[in-house]
Amino acid sequence: MHKVLLIVGLLSAAASAQTVGEITGEVKDSSGANAPNAAVTATNIETNVARSTVTNSSGVYSIPGLTPGMYNIKASAEGFQSLVKTNIELQVQQTARVDFTLAVGSTNQTVEVSGVAALLNTEDATVGTVIEQKRIVDLPLNGRNFFSLVALSPNVTYGFTPAQQASGRLGGTRSTLTMSLSGARATWANYTLDGITNTDVDFNTYIVLPSVDALQEFKVQSGIYPAEFGREAGQINVSTKPGTNSFHGAVFEFLRNNALDARSYDFLSSKRSATNPSPASTPYRQNQYGFTLGGPIWIPKVFNGKNRLFFMSNFEGFKSRTTTTSLATTMTAAMRNGDFSQVPTVLQDPLSRTGTPPNVTTTPYPGNQIPSNRFDKASVLLMTKFFPLPNQPNGPGLPLNNYQYLTKTPVDKVQFNQRIDFNESAKSQWFGRYSWTDELTLNPGLTVDGSTTYTRASQWVVSNVRVFSPTKVNEARFGYNSLYNSIAQQLAGVEDVDAEIGVPFKVADTNSWGVPSIQLANNLTSFGNNTSSPFTINDKVWQGVDNFSWVIGKHSLRMGGEYRYNQFPQVGNEFPRGQFFFNGSFTGNPNTQSSGYSGADFLQGYMNNSIIAVALVSSDFRNSEWAAYIDDTWKIAPHLTITAGLRWEVAQPMLDVSGRGLNVQLNGSLANVANVADMSKHPVLVRTGTNGNFYEGIDFRYQAYYAAQGQTVPGSPVFQVARDGRLGSRLVKTDYNNFAPRLGIAYSPSGQWSVRAGFGIFYSQESKNSIFDLNRGLGGRTGRTPDNTYSAPNFGYSNFLNASSLPVTLPVGLTWGVDYNLPTTYSLTYLLNVQRSLGKSTTFEAGYSGSQSRHLANLINAAQPLPGSTPIVTRLPYPEFGAAGIQFLKDDGVGNYNGLGAKISQRFGSNLTTLFSYTWSKSLDDGSAIRGPGNDFVAEDARCRACDYGYSAFDVPHRFVGSVLYTLPFGKGQHFLNHGGIVNQAVGGWQVSTITTLQSGSTTETASWDSAGVVFSPNGNRTNCYAGVNQLVDNPSAAQYYNPAAFYNTVAPEFGNCARNNLRGPKQVNVDFSAFKSFRIAERQALQFRLEMFNAPNHVELGTPNTGWGSSNKAPSANFGTITSTRASMRQIQFALKYNF
């Protein structure tokens, strides 16, 4: 069966792969009768490439697989005059209807109709917005990231907080890109580039980001689009720019720096003075530079590619440098020599401790002087290399902010795009493209304990459109993507610091080398690398697609599918280098538990906690995805079209071919009792494979949590592990039930109206990074804490664990699992949309879009203890599992979206182009992402999923976005001052453009303490809300936005009663502006000067208010409800120089 499905996928075509368009219509004679066998030819104006067909017996023609661009369409038949309709614009993934009525006469007589009105969508129920090349190139874009233009569309929310761990495991621009299309999650956007997938499975982010100068256009697609498309609920189809018959291109550089930018908003401005001025702007410099060149491939006297062979080459580089002045607190030179006389507390010698509290006796260090023979060599090494001496004067008392340093963050990116188009014949057209990008970011630390993010990605695509007959056309594509992304340490592959300080576990992977995390107290700055690195992926995607179009009478059939093979290897873990804590407890008073000094403990190597992973987590995931579909566009009447389609898609669960895959088998729903008596209902940790040896190749053995805590529980439940194939090789069941029907109706009562309605089911594949977490169960995180709080220290860097006694016994900590019966998320979508053409230049569109989403994937704690304040072992349903819980992925979530959207697009010649969109919507769900932002990481109460049903994290009730491109009507060829010479040089060639955004504030919620005692997400408990009390203060401001009197803190053992995402932050208003002047050099050459301003009015766009209660106290923290950050930067200015030819 698997082989059959594989063959079907290979011979079929991908719904997610199209960035071409289609021209279709009917040809009639002057009496209104069908005109069979009429010849219809579509000619691309810029390449002169022509495609021809003939009408069938119903007078219907269709020309699919056309490259987006401007076309002349000609229809001719014996006994009739030929008719040419010129300058027909075909956009990406558009089905443009062009009908002909032929007059009696000679075929040699040709009638041209130019200036055709803007086309309405009269052929299907697809709702989308095309962002064409002029808008992409000319609108102000910060960072020249064209994805921000997705926000111009209605029913789109853009730029909300991304899911957690994306930045820590992926980093870069990819991890921060968020958009919700018609209420869909950010991960439900399917990116394609030239008809090939551009979506990576890790976080469902894009793979390559082409330069805006290399793009033709892109389309944001939602609603009831054809069954040809799938994998995600929303589609972002992007097409690169092909070459043409004339050489054209650009050379450019864009510059930004802090000298041009406004200062960051100072929230403490009211407290500033001459001696306490506002901070200076942070030094910053950004350069983007590159070129684009396209045209026919031409070798003088050897080959002329006009009308046949074309190329487009693009290169772009990006460099930014940010320099920030930072302060740290480090140990003084005297302290490093054992002199802690600056510390007011009397430091005790921990090795002198005898007795038990409250009668422990200790000997103080005379004068707080620690002799050098007590210095720990490892701590001295760490201090010498990675904990610099102070360089600022220190006042009386303990050290504070005595080290000033510059943190320099360089970001370097380069990319290259090469496209070739070949017109083999009127019946066969080819194109191929290669794209490559290389990106490196250094995030500095205190010294060399920073981190690096390195990305290398590439994409190949080859495509062919072949005409078998006037009614049969085939499109075939093959694509290959690679994405290597590594977040590592600055010293990765350079220095193994753990080996130097004698840590007992060898860091075998050189990419994990770096500085262990040293956690200090008493205002001393902690240092070392982040514990959550490295994380490295080396993903590869192979894809084959094929689409076959067949016109039969009034039916236009399209059928095909996709086969996609994913490789998703990943290496990474938390705590691979270890983390060591020094809180000053050992040099403090053991009777009163008062702290001594953290630096003194550190100098002697007396740690109060140590954590390390004994193994690096790795995976080598593979899976196949395939889909098959059929679409029928039935032209029932000239003004009525019905589209019907059915799509079937399958995505296998990931298979770890390295044999290290894990999953937790749940044997029942989450129990409401502690220590479930029936062991058959307890979870089992299952490893892929069938040899029965769960711990094969593993240097640790799990110990039941309660036993590791020295506790006993009735029945003494054992921690169950298995490797017997009970969950299959993939550990998750394959879902073969993803059938997605689509039905759309398009009715056009006249050439000025189009009414569309439809219903469809759309499946969404979630990101796979959470699947990698399953393997972290073989990472073996362990550690050691002192036996008690009063004895002398008895372990250090080299002996906190005994590596010679491997395998070590570890208490069960946090484990990860996923539902074996994990169905695919789907959305039932429905819409009603009306388009109206207003004259020749304006189109108005308004409509309703709604959806019901089911099987949303969310995290829960599948071993959540009963709420309470008694020892957690007495409240765990499965006491052998750790108190940290089972992070479990379930697809039982629900969501819905209802939106009214309106859009006006205008094109008044070449001088004015506008696009205005407005959305009034509501999005509800019980989880907005796997590992959502803030408290949305996990359900507050796993036993009450309905309690989390509320506003989505991306819900924005009101949103208006307007974009304007306006060429000023002055100078040569314009209405005013139509002169050449100096007048034209001064006032001609000016263009201005703006993007204006006004929208409601983002959702947020309160955060309290772990009053319910569930441990898993300590700050995930919400506060209580008073009914009927306004949650906003009068005249909200940054100083106080939310009303503390509207909330009260929780007490044990309760969950808060405030609803999820029940609060909304300040509204958002932003205006970006650009102005540029073109200086004509020759007929087809111009030098363009550009000024771009982001947040041009320098408006303070307040960020999300503080919603953390702060503690278990009755009163909230002082900053509860206040705002201390801005959502957007203050005004940024960018200059550019661009040579167009």
Q: Which domain holds residue 6?
A: 2-113
The answer to whether residue 564 is domain-embedded is no
Which one of 633-642, 919-928, 931-940 scores highest in mean pLDDT?
A: 919-928
Indicate whether 189 and 232 sit together in one domain.
yes
- 92 in the same domain as 10: yes
Q: What does residue 471 show for φ and ψ, rounded to 5 degrees?
A: -115, 0
Residue 932: its pLDDT value, please? 86
Tell me what percent of the residues of the chain surpass a pLDDT of 70. 98
Q: Helices in 12-110 by DSSP H: which ranges?
A: none
- Same domain as 130, residue 55: no
Please determine, for residue 333, whether its predicted confidence score (pLDDT) is greater than 50. yes
Amino acid 509: pLDDT:
87
The per-residue b/e assignment along 613-641, b for 16 or more CB within 10 angstroms, e otherwise, is bbbbbbbbbbbbbbbbbbbbbebeeebeb
**The domain boundary residue, chosen from 85, 113, 141:** 113
Residue ending a domain, among 82, 113, 144, is 113
Q: Which two tokens stand for residue 702?
A: 């799990």
Contacts 24+ apart (CB under 8 A), 1051-1054: 1051/1011, 1052/868, 1052/869, 1052/1011, 1052/1012, 1052/1013, 1053/867, 1053/868, 1053/869, 1053/1011, 1053/1012, 1053/1013, 1054/867, 1054/1011, 1054/1012
- Please tell me whether residues 215 and 157 are part of one structural domain: yes
Q: What is the pLDDT of residue 781?
A: 80
Q: What is d(CA 817, CA 732) in angstroms, rounded to the nearest whole number?
A: 10
- DSSP assignment of 204-258: S-BS----GGGEEEEEEEEES--TT--SSSEEEEEEEPPP-SS-EEEEEEEEEET
Q: Tokens 């409601």 belong to which residue?
A: 1000
Alpha-carbon gap, residue 1084 to 107, rounded angstroms = 37
Q: Specify the pLDDT at position 648.
A: 98
| Residue 173 forms part of a structural domain | yes
1018 band by pLDDT with thresholds 50, 70 and 90: low
Residues 6+ apart with CB under 8 A from 1120: 1042, 1044, 1106, 1107, 1108, 1109, 1110
Q: What is the C-alpha separation between 619 and 730, in angstroms, rounded?
A: 13
Q: Which residue has the higher pLDDT, 506 or 437?
A: 437
Does one domain contain both 29 and 140?
A: no
Please say if the pLDDT value at position 111 is more than 80.
no
- State the Cα–Cα distance between residues 993 and 966, nearest whole angstrom: 6
The predicted model gives 817-834 an average pLDDT of 96
In this structure, the answer to whether residues 130 and 246 fall within a common structural domain is: yes
Pair 79, 132 in one domain: no
Query: What is the structure's pLDDT at 6?
Result: 37
pLDDT tier for residue 17 given thresholds of 50, 70 and 90: very low
Read off the pLDDT band of 18 (50, 70, 90). Answer: low
Region 178-192: what's the mean pLDDT? 95
Q: Does the pLDDT of residue 149 top 60, yes or no?
A: yes
Instruction: Give the C-alpha separation, 563 to 10, whole Å.
Output: 5
107 and 152, same domain (yes or no): no
- Does pLDDT of 1013 surpass 90? no
**pLDDT at 16 exceeding the cut of 50:** no
Mean predicted lDDT score pLDDT of the chain = 92
User: What end-to-end distance do the CA atoms of the chain give, in Å?
Assistant: 56
Mean pLDDT of 655-665: 96
Render pLDDT for 496-516 as a digit per residue (tens, 0 to 9). 999 999 998 888 889 999 999
pLDDT at 821 over 70: yes
**pLDDT over 60 at 536, yes or no:** yes
- End-of-domain residue from the set 250, 280, 310: 250
Domain count within the chain: 2
pLDDT for residue 115 is more than 70: no
Backbone angles phi, psi at 194, to 5 degrees: 55, 40
Which is more confident, 229 or 115?
A: 229
CATH of the domain at 145: 2.170.130.10
Mean pLDDT for 113-126 is 72
For residues 98 and 208, state if they share a domain.
no
Does 422 score more than 70 pLDDT?
A: yes
The model's pLDDT over 841-855, given as tens digits with 9 standing for 90+, comes to: 899 999 999 999 999
| 119 pLDDT above the threshold of 70 | no
For 601-618, the pLDDT digits (tens) are 999 999 999 998 888 889
Q: Which residue has the tokens 């080290």?
A: 403
Question: In one letter, which amino acid is 771?
Answer: I
pLDDT tens string 800-819: 887 777 788 888 888 999 99
Name the token pair of 341. Answer: 């006389």
| Residue 221 domain-assigned (yes or no) | yes
Q: How many CB atoms lie within 10 A of CB 301?
A: 5
Other Cβ atoms within 10 Å of 112 Cβ, number: 11
**How do residues 1077-1128 score in pLDDT, each as one tens digit?**
999 888 889 999 999 999 999 999 999 999 999 888 999 999 999 999 999 9
pLDDT value of residue 9: 34
User: Would you place residue 409 in the very low, low, confident or very high pLDDT band (cuts 50, 70, 90)?
Assistant: very high
Predicted pLDDT of residue 947: 94
Residue 463, beta-bridge partner list: 431, 477
- What is the average per-residue pLDDT within 414-421? 97
Q: Is beta strand 348-354 parallel, antiparallel or unpaired with respect to 298-299?
A: unpaired
176 falls within a domain: yes
Supply the pLDDT for residue 3: 39
User: Does residue 359 fall inside a structural domain?
Assistant: no
Lowest mean pLDDT among 310-314, 671-675, 721-725: 671-675
CA dihedral angle for residue 483, residue 489, residue 492, residue 496, rounded to 10 degrees: -150
Q: What is the pLDDT of residues 576-586, one digit of tens each?
A: 999 999 999 99
CATH number at residue 11: 2.60.40.1120
Q: Residue 1061 falls within a domain, yes or no? A: no
The verdict on 16 and 98 lying in the same domain is: yes
Q: Any idea what the Cα angle at residue 334 is, between residues 331 and 335, rounded to 5°?
A: 45
Indicate if 164 and 189 belong to the same structural domain.
yes
* Mean pLDDT (whole number) for 154-160: 94
Q: Please tell me the distance from the alpha carbon of residue 792 to that of residue 228, in angstroms, as a whole number.
A: 70
pLDDT at 271 over 90: no
The reply to whether 19 and 109 lie within a common domain is: yes
Asked if residue 256 is part of any domain, the answer here is no
In a domain, 73, yes or no: yes
pLDDT at 414 over 80: yes
Grade residue 481 by pLDDT with cuts at 50, 70 and 90: very high
Report the residue count for the chain. 1141
